[in-house]
Amino acid sequence: MIVLFGSGGQVGWELRRSLAPLDALHPLTSKDPGGNLGDPGAVADTIRRLRPAAVVNASAHTAVDAAESEPESTRARVLNTDAPAAMAAACQDCGALLVHYSTDYVFDGSGDRPWTEDDPTGPLGVYGRTKRDGETAALACDALVFRTSWVYAARGKNFARTMLRLAGERDRLTVVSDQTGAPTGAELIADATAHSTTSSRRGKPRGTASPNLSSNAPARPESPSAPPGSIRCR
């Protein structure tokens, strides 16, 4: 069995498709009993009760701006750090693989080349710090952590859908031009996850997008923010 947390999000929705052929899939949302990451203890109980072969955590507090305005002890820390830590402890007990997702926000945005797995992290904000601590917590068990960036999908909130909506509402669009990233399709992340989750592929590094992919807006030379390009494995 594979337990999937956050099955209604951009990545979670695509994972429902990509993981289904691998094993019996148990998809959970925040509204399901034992599926709300706001209660890490209940999440761990869910894993210990179901004893799956793998747990895939596609849920997170992804509202970056909102995370900055909250005290760090609250929602972002619970969802992005405490819940993955509880998942890792439960997976350790069950011998389950934990698949977890992280972000380019674990880096400080400096430099002029794509990040590698071994580059030192240096998050600048609450979201990045809580996600960095979450990936560290996840790696306490047998885990795959995918660092992705600029996720887009046919559903959910993302840059592409926002631009399409605004294009229908406004004559002129204003967009920041000081960031470079690797737009990454949720479909691709889900397919890479399915391949990596099979036992023969465990323990090898993988990428979720070409580091050469970038936005149409070029980075300003004084503030390059290299795409993450990476995954960390244990």
Instruction: Indicate if 101 belongs to the active site.
Output: no
Q: Which residue is nearest to ligand NAP (CB)?
A: 9
Between 24 and 154, whose beta carbon lies closer to ligand NAP? 154
β-partners of residue 145 are 100, 232
* Shortest Cβ 105–ligand NAP spacing (Å): 7
Between 107 and 199, whose beta carbon lies closer to ligand NAP? 107
Between 158 and 219, whose beta carbon lies closer to ligand NAP? 158
Between 62 and 96, whose beta carbon lies closer to ligand NAP? 62
- Cβ distance 99 to 212 under 8 Å? no
Q: Where on the chain is the footprint of ligand NAP (CB under 6 A)?
A: 6, 8-12, 29-30, 35-38, 58-60, 62, 79, 101, 103, 131, 148-151, 156
Tell the residue number behind the tokens 């999937």, with chain if given: 4
Say whether 145 sits in a helix, a strand or coil: strand
The catalytically annotated residue of 101, 105, 127, 152 is 127
| Residue 128 to residue 80: CA distance in whole angstroms | 9
* Shortest Cβ 156–ligand NAP spacing (Å): 4
| Residue 20 to residue 27: CA distance in whole angstroms | 10
Tell the residue number behind the tokens 């210990």, with chain if given: 48
* Shortest Cβ 24–ligand NAP spacing (Å): 20
Residue 185's closest CA among 204, 159, 206? Answer: 159
* Shortest Cβ 102–ligand NAP spacing (Å): 6
Name the residue type at position 136.
T
Residue 107's closest CA among 207, 8, 230, 22? Answer: 230
Tell the residue number behind the tokens 């068990």, with chain if given: 141
Residue 186's closest CA among 153, 161, 155, 160? Answer: 153
Name the residue type at position 163.
M
Between 95 and 164, whose beta carbon lies closer to ligand NAP? 164
* Shortest Cβ 82–ligand NAP spacing (Å): 11
Which residues are identified as catalytic? 127
